[in-house]
């Protein structure tokens, strides 16, 4: 898919100029080198709090002698239990930190009070699959076990994430369903990275922010020795799952110009075929992560409003059954 400027929403194009230039600069070297450099640039964000929220850091034992850093965000002065939200950051499975989503956490909590938990999961430049998913599942179990102390409502969690975080959200829902240890009541995998195979939209895609070259490189780094194999597990690439029955109700959206368009459509269709309730929207003229790259654009505000509405319904439903 060749993406020319005239195909992109005008407000998105204008509002994302600085981001596009930055992404182009990072893309000049090897993908792994760019991911490592990006991660070094994010170090000053680690531990940064969000104004207006109570923020804290928790360290969780992985069981192998190492510990997982987890950030917890809650309304100021929270005293009573609230619904728990597990949010997984994006970054191509190779970069990113929870603190990047601080503005989103503030927006979500202001819209409906909840406790948002976000792990600093291992990235593919540190360890390939299944390290990131293992960290996400460890955090999910911790939310259940520590619910009382963390003032989280028991017996159900809401999950979400964008891009690779959306892929981990989808994978985590499959894993939680199959293990049956922790209930996920609702999931929000936004423009999820879920298929390591080429689709029509991911093949020869030169859209801004995320293109075919970055996508292939990111998948190779994440899958490690599994890259290119036919037996890639569904927990690594959820588009490969054969059975979507019993997965939680889902909200998602995607742009029509980005590599993940077709895999997201196929994911939604298969969820619906399995009887899973889905709310879904395609945004015309939108590239990858458009809502974060140009949040003031009308199309981004529309997507955010839909997300907040779905999130509010999920939080209200979780609170009602507590």
DSSP string, 195-213: --S--TTTTT---SSS-HH
Q: Which domain holds residue 73?
A: 5-320
Q: What is the DSSP letter of 89?
A: -
Our count of domains for the chain comes to: 1
Q: 211-263, pLDDT tens digit by residue?
A: 999 999 999 999 999 998 999 999 999 999 999 999 999 999 999 999 999 99
Three-class HEC string of 29-42: CCHHHHHHHHHHHC
Q: Which tokens sit at 210?
A: 């995320």
Q: Which tokens sit at 197?
A: 């195979």
32 and 125 in contact (C-beta within 8 Å)?
yes
Q: Which tokens sit at 230?
A: 């036919």
Helix H or strand E encompassing 311: helix 298-320
Q: Is the peptide bond before 185 cis (omega within 30 degrees of 0)?
A: no
What is the Cα–Cα distance from 191 to 162, expressed in whole angstroms?
A: 6
86 and 117 in contact (C-beta within 8 Å)?
yes
* Cβ density class 240-256: b for 16+ within 10 Å, e for less: bbeebeebbbbbbbbbb
CATH of the domain at 104: 3.40.50.1820
Instruction: Say what the pLDDT of residue 248 is.
Output: 98
What is the Cα–Cα distance from 86 to 190, expressed in whole angstroms?
A: 14
Q: 44-85, pLDDT tens digit by residue?
A: 999 999 999 999 999 999 999 999 999 999 999 999 999 999
Q: pTM to 2 decimals?
A: 0.96
Q: Which tokens sit at 126?
A: 């540190």
């Amino acid at each position: 898919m060749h993406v020319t400027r005239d195909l992109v929403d005008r407000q998105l194009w204008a509002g994302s100029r600085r981001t596009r230039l930055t992404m182009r600069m990072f893309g000049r070297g090897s993908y792994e080198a760019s991911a490592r450099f990006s991660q070094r640039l994010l170090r000053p964000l680690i531990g940064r709090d969000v104004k207006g929220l109570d923020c804290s850091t928790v360290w969780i034992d992985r069981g192998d002698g190492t510990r997982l850093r987890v950030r917890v965000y809650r309304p100021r002065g929270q005293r009573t239990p609230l619904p728990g939200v597990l949010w997984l950051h994006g970054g191509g499975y190779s970069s990113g930190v929870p603190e990047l989503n601080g503005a989103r956490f503030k927006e979500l909590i202001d819209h409906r009070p909840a406790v948002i938990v976000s792990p600093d999961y291992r990235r593919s430049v540190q360890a390939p699959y299944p390290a990131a998913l293992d960290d996400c599942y460890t955090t999910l179990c911790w939310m259940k076990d520590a619910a009382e102390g963390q003032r989280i409502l028991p017996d159900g969690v809401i999950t979400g994430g964008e891009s690779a975080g959306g892929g981990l959200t989808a994978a985590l829902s499959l894993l939680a369903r199959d293990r049956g240890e922790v209930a996920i009541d609702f999931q929000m995998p936004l423009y999820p990275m879920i298929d390591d195979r080429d689709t029509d939209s991911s093949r020869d895609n030169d859209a801004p922010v995320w293109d075919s070259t970055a996508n292939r490189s990111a998948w190779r780094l994440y899958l490690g020795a599994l890259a290119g194999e036919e037996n890639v597990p569904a927990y690594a690439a959820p588009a490969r799952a054969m059975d979507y029955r019993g997965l939680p109700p889902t909200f998602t959206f995607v742009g029509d110009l980005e590599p993940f368009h077709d895999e997201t459509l196929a994911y939604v269709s298969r969820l619906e075929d399995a009887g899973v309730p889905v709310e879904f929207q395609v945004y015309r003229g939108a590239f990858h992560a458009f809502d974060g790259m140009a949040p003031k654009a009308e199309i981004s505000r529309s997507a955010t409003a839909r997300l907040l509405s779905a999130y509010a319904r999920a939080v209200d439903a979780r609170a009602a059954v507590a």
